[in-house]
Structure 1
């Protein structure tokens, strides 16, 4: 059982760990050493990690792998991927190699508009509110100038502000719906600062607006916050080749494969239970690159899945077709990313990942991330519609099972060779390992 504690955040890191161990790990004598073994021996680097979040007790490592051979808009990339799931990096690499020999990936940024909203309550006539907004809109922008001047120098800033009537959904509910361009920055702090200034200007100006009656002057600001739903911050990635070139395996008929592949995509277009797993596979690739480059994968996930539901039904993010003997496979996806700000200038591996990607702009990173998602989905669907997903996945999972049972290097070598010609299952690996040990 746990117990409450006061002033935990004020304790030193060592004292925090002592309390955690004494309270939750009384019977686990190795808990403290497990926590401390992940500390970085470089004290300056460890302090940097400690200060990323509150109440840090240790580091939580994920593997950082790379997937080479990605030809994107005729430029070759090796893509960094931070992820723990086996086979993801291998699948991305396999897709990259496959399409490298067929012209590579094409990617285009369609738009980069980001959104923020001031949510407020107004108990009065909408016509008066509309007149007030029209009169105050220039002032909203003007009084935000101290916040926007640096962003404007980089070509970004406030694009527009609209008044939206939401009273059909919620009584007395309105919003200022603002759009922004943040260039290479993620823009969260910039957008939220602008919104809070809008709210302050809006509320104060209402107090002296002559057309408002006494009660109408008291506009209640509920909150001011950016939205992670960015349906106008879109990127498209695609691949194509003659159907006859769609196989690098003599056992796979390219025409039959193309039709089956498209049918698999069509199923994800109409069946939400399949679409969720289909899109999860896409996000395996996307999240891994987003995380490696210091971006917010939770925001990306939320916005992407909302976009997949924009028609009122959850659907596939990828699409495929055959036209005039050419196979086309593409994705159109919202991605609000940045290459400056946040962790991009702090985390050493994030900086290295961005350098690996040739120091991309935000638009270039959007293209790279979308391509990673498309490649991942191609690999998954190719396996599903040919050999099945488990053959490759379980072979990648073999090492995890062997490590779980603390196999020696010699045992690993023998069992890896054994399972080249045998089906990998958890029970089969355990049985083979026990048999080897008995022998």
Structure 2
């Protein structure tokens, strides 16, 4: 049995490789070869990657692709996407091409407010706490000035601090609920620094507040941390066109297609099991652009799914309607993104992705990301209500299956042509491959 190790982070990279491959892999030398194969030959670039996190062994690659032909507010974009899932980039590109000749995507930012909270326990009179808060509120702002002055020069900063009584939910629990504008920065470090200063001011001020008893002076700050739920940092993306322009081919009329799309969204609104998969498809597009642009997809995922449940039941993020013979399809989605700071100034591919997008502001990136999510959902629903999802997905997955089977380039070419006209189920691909090998 492998023993725990002390001081792993202090080992050299080679020593870490030796330890992990010796103790946790079947063939140490083969494992080391795999890990080293993904090292960047540019030592400066590799060191940069090594220092992003602790205990780095190698780089984990994801495909970096482009979905072209996105017309957004009359500007044409090619959207970078970093994702491993088959068909995502192709589906987004297909949706972009469909709407390119139907007016494109229209977007607008509905709000940019970020949120942070100081959570604390107060065992005392709520009225005295309210009086204390009103007295100390100006000091909360003033003592944070060393942190906020640069942000304020650019037009951002703290927008509000309020005291919230949460004792009905948890005994003696209160919070400072704080809102911020962070401009082109995602703002996590700025917000957390402000919140920790608020916590210090709160505790120190309580000790000097004459109306408090000795027990009331001892406010217990539990934590000070930003929230990734940002319902007021919101963007809308939409498409619309006359119903008769929704010609998707096949036996389905434009009117029938429009009604099926509306029905599909209505089902996702009322059925949580469907809504989760529906929204997961939206996040395929959103996460891919967020990764490519160096933003935090985990924070966005958490906030988006919380927003999907804001009315007390998990529901669809997208909406669809037919009104006055016009089909309209849209999404409202919370996105706290940054185009400065973090990886945006460090990772070469992130910098390139932002350059491809025209070096957008945070608000512009919000709109681009929302469009990617809407396009992905449109493409998925279009497949679901027409041919079914598997036909397109499995054809995109075909090369993955053939690579797993060890197909040669000639065999891939033959089988790709074959499955342009035949259903590409996993078993059908295996059978066709085996038959080709036999012949």
TM-score range, shorter chain: over 0.9
* 1:373-412 mapped onto 2 (5 Å cutoff): 373-412=373-412
1:431: how far off? 1.1
Tell me which moved more, 23-32 or 55-64.
Answer: 23-32
CA distance in 2, matches of 1:32, 1:288: 29
- Aligned residue for 1:219? 219
* Aligned residues of 1:3 and 1:23 also touching (Cα < 8 A): no
Q: Give every structure 1 segment of 4 or more consecutive aligned residues whose post-TM-superposition deviation is greater than 2 Å.
A: 26-29
CA distance in 2, matches of 1:364, 1:145: 29
- Aligned residue for 1:114? 114
* Aligned residues of 2:123 and 2:172 also touching (Cα < 8 A): yes
- Aligned residue for 1:205? 205
The total of aligned residue pairs comes to 439
1:250: how far off? 5.0
CA distance in 1, matches of 2:251, 2:98: 16
- Aligned residue for 1:130? 130
- Aligned residue for 1:80? 80
- Aligned residue for 1:149? 149
- Aligned residue for 1:11? 11
- Aligned residue for 1:247? 247
Cα RMSD, aligned residues only:
0.8
CA distance in 2, matches of 1:212, 1:28: 65
- Aligned residue for 2:139? 139
* 1:405-420 mapped onto 2 (5 Å cutoff): 405-420=405-420
1:438: how far off? 1.1
1:26: how far off? 3.8
1:25: how far off? 1.3
- Aligned residue for 1:90? 90
CA distance in 2, matches of 1:67, 1:153: 37
Q: Does 1:167 align with 2:182?
A: no
1:28: how far off? 5.4
Q: Which 5+ residue runs of structure 2 have no aligned equivalent?
A: none
Q: Does 1:21 align with 2:24?
A: no
Question: Normalising to structure 1: TM-score of the pair?
Answer: 0.99
CA distance in 2, matches of 1:376, 1:419: 24
CA offset digits 1:187-222 (Å, max 9, x no partner) = 000000000000001100100100001100000000
CA distance in 2, matches of 1:61, 1:247: 39
* Aligned residues of 1:88 and 1:376 also touching (Cα < 8 A): yes
Residue aligned with 1:327, SS: strand
CA distance in 2, matches of 1:28, 1:50: 21
Residue aligned with 2:291, SS: helix
CA offset digits 1:42-99 (Å, max 9, x no partner) = 0000000000000000000000000000000011000000000000000000000000
CA distance in 1, matches of 2:3, 2:409: 44
Residue aligned with 2:158, SS: strand
